[in-house]
Structure formats: C-alpha cells, structure tokens
Structure 1
Amino acid sequence: MLSSLTRIFDPMVRLLVLALVLALLAPVPDSRQELGQWIANAAIFVLFFLNGLRLPRDQVRRGLTDWRFHGALALWVFGAMLLSGWAIYEFGGGLLPPLLALGFLYLGALPSTIQSATVYTSMAGGNIAHAVVAAALLNILGVFLSAPLFAAIAGGDAVAFHSEVLVKIATVLLLPFALGQILQPRFGEIITQSAALTRWTDRVPIGIAVYVAMSGAVNEGIWDRISGSAWIAALIAVFLYLAYAIAGSWVVGGLLTKSRPDRIAFLFAGTQKSLAMGAPLATLMFDPAVAGIILIPLIAYHFIQLVVAAPIASRLNPAS
C-alpha cells in the first residue's frame, strides 16, 4: 500500500497534476498559444535528444538477438493493444464524444514507458534487462509507428496527417533522437551519471506539453463539450482497457516465454503506456483545442496504471 501511494505521488505525477491545474486556472491565452507551442516543441526536442544520448547502442543490439520475445511484444503493443483502443473508438461513440473516443485509439497506438516498465519489473522480480531493452526498442518503434498507425486507422476525416505533421515529427522527435544516438558513445555516460539532470529533463517537457495541450482544450470550452456522463463512461473505459492490457499481456507472456522473470517483463512492458511519447506527439499532430481532449484517456490511464501496477508487482515477487 505504501509503495502504491509513493508511486501515486511521485514527482512526475505531481508535475502532471500541477500542469492540469494551471491549464484549468490559468491557460495559455489564445494570443500566446503559438508561442506556447514553440516552447513545448523546444522542450520536446531536448527530451528526445537526451533520450538518444542515454540509450546505449549495445542494449539495442542485445535486444535484437531475442527476436521471439521482442517481436511478440511489439505485435502485442502495436497490434492487440491498438485494436482494443480501436474497439473503444469504434463502438463507444454512443457514450463518448468523438474526440474523447479518438483518444482511446491514440492511447492504443503508443509504446510502453521505459521507466515504469523497468521499475515494476524490478519490484516483481522479473527480467530487468529484458524490460529495459524491450521498452527502449518499443519507444524507438513508436517514434516511427505510432503516428502513422493511428492516422491510418482513424482515417483522414478524424485526423489530418499531412506532410506538415510529418516534418514536425521528423524535426522534433526523429532528428534529436538520431543526433543523440550519434553522440552517445562520447557523451552518453556523462548524461546517465547526471541523475538530477535526467529527472528534470524527463519530467519538465512532458509537463509543458500537457499544459499547452490542455490550455487549448480549456480555451475551447472542454467542460461544455464533455458531459458528466461522458466523463464517467471514459473512466470506466480506461479501467476496462487496463484490465484487458494486464490480463492479455500476462496470458500472452506465459504462452511465449520460458521463465517467470521473462513473463513478468512482458507483463509490465506490454501494459504501461508512455505519456513521455504521447503528450509531445499529440502537440505535434493535433491543434491545441483537439490535443487536450485526445490526451484525456492517456492521462487517466497513466494515473491508474501507477495505482494498479505497484500492488501487482509486490504480489508477483516471491520474496515479498
């Protein structure tokens, strides 16, 4: 229980709550929205550059050797999880506003979050090396796959995925990550040893992206566009989606892996969803008024997964 509370109130969650409260009470004015977007993009550029610096190339090479584990996990995350998000989007239209339903499809298209997948795998006594490499590889794939997969399934009527968006993604996500990987052999160790720098650079850009996106939604009257019953339906859908993710990844991991530690790594790498990828990407793909609403399922999922994952990890650990 104490571990769960610690995760709920960790610095990232507190920063996320602060960003949401600021967006509700003091949103970025419409006249400054473009400036806010430029600041968010600059912060995201730094985030992905440092991600590229931190990820050792030998981890990627080692991960690629276990193609059965990582290939199955990629199919689960970008296949089964994406299809379940599509199911909520497709069949939840009667209970959810279109943009809120679209948020579940967006949630399904995202990769795993590296930090949470690794922490909970460690807490549960799982294969930490597999978890680190798997989440890292999924995030690399997510940079290339999440936006196109989402756009292909959502269709042109739901999201305008045109050349300008591709240029933004390439400039703000792919370019800095590639630069980081190029410079990783020389400067990667310096970055990984700077714990304080890592903590702040991981959290602040996400907080800025959420603040800018939610400010746009508030300025467009989010409370008038989403009814009370729709909020309740969305919360229920998030719980159902998480239950499916946990049960499905545990069963699939058991069928595909030979050891319990590997199964645990599959569970947490296949269940956690990356706000670090989702929030920045949403600010690049959607107009501010749209991005805030589409991010609601992801933000809710992020909170709830932290609450649920800690007790599951403690229960799975034979030493606890």
Structure 2
Amino acid sequence: MPRPNRPLRSHLPRRPARLRVDPFIAALLGTVAVAALLPARGAAAPAFSDAATGAVAVLFFLYGARLSAREAWEGLKQWRLHGTVLAVTFGLFPLLGVAAHLLVPTVLSPQLYQGLLFLTLLPATVQSSIAFTSIARGNTAAAVCSATFSSLFGIVLTPLLAAVLLHTEGGVSPGTVLEIAEQLLLPFAAGQVLRPWIAAWTARHRAVLGLVDRGSILLVVYSAFSAAVVGGVWSALSLPRLAALLGVEAALLGLVLTATLLVGRRLGFGRGDVVAIVFCGSKKSLASGVPMAAVLFPGAAAGLVVLPLMLFHQLQLMVCAVLARRWGAQAEGAGATAQPAAVQALDPVA
C-alpha cells in the first residue's frame, strides 16, 4: 500500500541543533584553569599525586565491575566487523600518529607531538560510540560489542604500543608496562572477579558511580596540570602551536572518518554495520586516556600529553554529532526501521 502523502518538510533532513560544549569538557577546562591559578605545590603535590593514583585504581576497578564478559563473548559472532574496528583503532590510528612526526618541529612541538601520538594509541569510547550509532540508525548491538572489545584490548595494547612508539620520544620505557599492569590491570581484574556479587549494586548506583568516574578524572587532570604549571611546561605552548594542533587533529579525524567509511563499503558491510564501524573506529577515549597518561607520564609531562586528547575528544563529539543526526534523518526519510538490515542499501553520506 502506498504511503500517505506527508508534508514536504518531513522529507528534508533535520536541521542540526546548535552545538553545545560537552559539560564534562567544560568541567575539564575549569579544572585546568584552577590548576593554572592554584597549582598543588610543596607538600600538597605528593598528596594530590597519591590521590590521583588511587583514583586511577578506582576507575579501572569500576570498569571491570561493569563489563559483562558473557555479552562480550557473544558478540564475537560478528568478528569481521570487530576486527575492522580494532584494526583502525590500534593499526591505522597509530600509523597516522607516527606519520605526523614529519610535522615536528615546524608545525608541532615535540611535547605536543608526544601527546598527539599518545591519543592515537588509545581505545575507542564506549558511551558516545554506541549513542551516535543509535542516533544514525546503525547496528547498535555491534557498536556495543566493538566498543567493549576496544576498551578491553586497550588496557593491554595501549601500554604495549606506548612502550614501543613513545620510547623513542623519551616518554615511556619498556619497564613501564609492568607498572601499567599493577596500576590498571589488577584493579580491572579485581572488578571482573567481584562482578557477580557487585553488578546489581553498581547498576542501582549508576548515577553516583558516574560522578565518581568524572570526579576521579578531574582529580587526575588537576594533578597532572598542576605539575605542568609548577614545572614550567606551559612555556613551550603558544597560541600558534595550539592552533596548529587543532588543525592537525581535524585532519586526523577527517582521514579516519573517510577511511572507515571506505573500508566498510569495500569489505561489503551493510549500511548499519558501516555506521557502527565509522563511529566506533573514529573515537578515542578520554576516560581511559587520562588515567593511562597519569601512569605513563608521571610529573609535569602528563599535562601537555593530556591536552591534545582533551581537544580531540571535544572535536570528535562535535563532528560525529552532526554526522549521526544527518544519517539518522536520512534513514528515517528512507523509511528505515529499527533493524539496520532494512536499509543496507542506503548510503550514509548521500
């Protein structure tokens, strides 16, 4: 039966809502401002450093307690899709990061390049990857599994890649991998072991634990940026360098978004799967990156290392929000249902 006529306006893509700064990014910027004006000095500095170390352990314990291993293993049925996302996250991204060394020192300072390379080694985000895939009417179930696998593999692969690639930059030594295992893997494993007993409790208190997550990250950021201020690291940062960094990160994000879209098509994935690959493969996790940076780059160096990640995080949210709304409007206009298979022939960027 033919569809009833609808107003012309309903056939047009929805106009994107005005972009807003992520509240958490605003809190991070506020924390950086406080660290710049009132950095932890003297006896307070070690206290904040120890508190940040404890916050990192709490973060990864909660990650382990929340991750359902059973759901992750069930998602292995779509191994081609997950393998594609992992190859982009831990293969293509690091290769682009290594290639960016050609921009040192003319475009990027060595310190900023170190932070840029570090962000290319991180796993994908979980929440935003899933949310954007859902908004774009993609394969949300696949996005859940891919983002989960990325986070799980990142706990091991990110420190290993950092030990290999950042060692030449003077930031990480191979011996740091053992320290990573102690500070990240052990709390994560403890959370997994205790999950059968505390999973229901964490689900009931999700809002409170979310505040604990964000508060822990803010504490780590304050400690890192305080050390950077006291150590005089910010003297290496100028406005032209900051603008150049934003330009490089925009190019990096554009390359990866294009590559994931083309690779997904070339490998014969349906429209819903391509959407999941694009949004899971193009993200880098701030929640994982900040605590990892605190372990890998103790002291003043962590401040400039975290800065490129903070900027890239906001950039990826803004760009992917526009893409997700546009693709979702196109899918709705084409009569797509909640099942991605119904619109496999739809081009997400048409």
By the TM > 0.5 criterion, same fold? yes
- Counterpart in the other structure of 2:28: 16
Structure 1 residue 263: deviation in Å? Answer: 0.9
Moved >4 Å (runs of 4+): none
Structure 1 residues 168-183: aligned runs within 5 Å: 168-183=179-194
Rg larger for: 2
1:222-254 per-residue CA deviation (whole Å, 9 max, x = no partner) reads 332123321121111111111112111222222
Deviates more, 1:30-39 or 1:241-250: 30-39
1:212 aligns with 2:223: yes
- Counterpart in the other structure of 2:213: 202
1:75-100 per-residue CA deviation (whole Å, 9 max, x = no partner) reads 11100011111111343332211111
In structure 2, C-alpha distance between the alignment counterparts of 1:205 and 1:89, rounded to whole Å: 32
Secondary structure of 2:254's aligned partner:
helix
Structure 1 residue 121: deviation in Å? Answer: 1.0
Work out which of the residue numbers 271, 282, 294 in structure 2 matches 1:271: 282
State the number of aligned residues.
Answer: 316
Structure 1 residue 17: deviation in Å? Answer: 2.0
**Using a 3 Å threshold, how does the CA distance of structure 1 residues 202 and 118 change in structure 2: closer, same or farther?**
farther
Structure 1 residue 125: deviation in Å? Answer: 1.0
- Contact 2:136/2:327 (8 A) holds in 1: yes
Q: Percent identity at matched positions?
A: 33
Structure 1 residue 116: deviation in Å? Answer: 1.0
Structure 1: stretches of 5+ with no match in the other structure = none
- Counterpart in the other structure of 1:100: 112
1:248 aligns with 2:263: no
Work out which of the residue numbers 152, 159, 162 in structure 2 matches 1:140: 152
- Contact 2:155/2:185 (8 A) holds in 1: yes
In structure 2, C-alpha distance between the alignment counterparts of 1:98 and 1:183, rounded to whole Å: 42
Secondary structure of 2:19's aligned partner:
helix
In structure 1, C-alpha distance between the alignment counterparts of 2:153 and 2:318, rounded to whole Å: 27
- Contact 1:86/1:104 (8 A) holds in 2: no
- Contact 1:111/1:146 (8 A) holds in 2: yes
Work out which of the residue numbers 114, 126, 129 in structure 2 matches 1:117: 129
Structure 1 residue 180: deviation in Å? Answer: 1.0
1:62 aligns with 2:77: no
**Using a 3 Å threshold, how does the CA distance of structure 1 residues 183 and 83 change in structure 2: closer, same or farther?**
same
For the aligned residue pairs, the C-alpha RMSD in angstroms reads 1.7
1:72 aligns with 2:84: yes
**Using a 3 Å threshold, how does the CA distance of structure 1 residues 102 and 89 change in structure 2: closer, same or farther?**
farther
TM-score by length of 1: 0.93
- Contact 1:56/1:188 (8 A) holds in 2: no
Larger fraction in helix: 1
Work out which of the residue numbers 36, 39, 61 in structure 1 matches 2:48: 36
Structure 1 residue 30: deviation in Å? Answer: 4.6
- Contact 1:40/1:205 (8 A) holds in 2: yes
1:115-172 per-residue CA deviation (whole Å, 9 max, x = no partner) reads 1111111111111111111111111111101121122123345223243x33431222
**Using a 3 Å threshold, how does the CA distance of structure 1 residues 157 and 311 change in structure 2: closer, same or farther?**
closer
Which letter maps to 2:107? L
TM-score by length of 2: 0.85
- Contact 2:256/2:282 (8 A) holds in 1: yes
In structure 1, C-alpha distance between the alignment counterparts of 2:268 and 2:233, rounded to whole Å: 44
In structure 1, C-alpha distance between the alignment counterparts of 2:18 and 2:198, rounded to whole Å: 34
- Contact 2:62/2:188 (8 A) holds in 1: yes
- Contact 2:233/2:301 (8 A) holds in 1: no
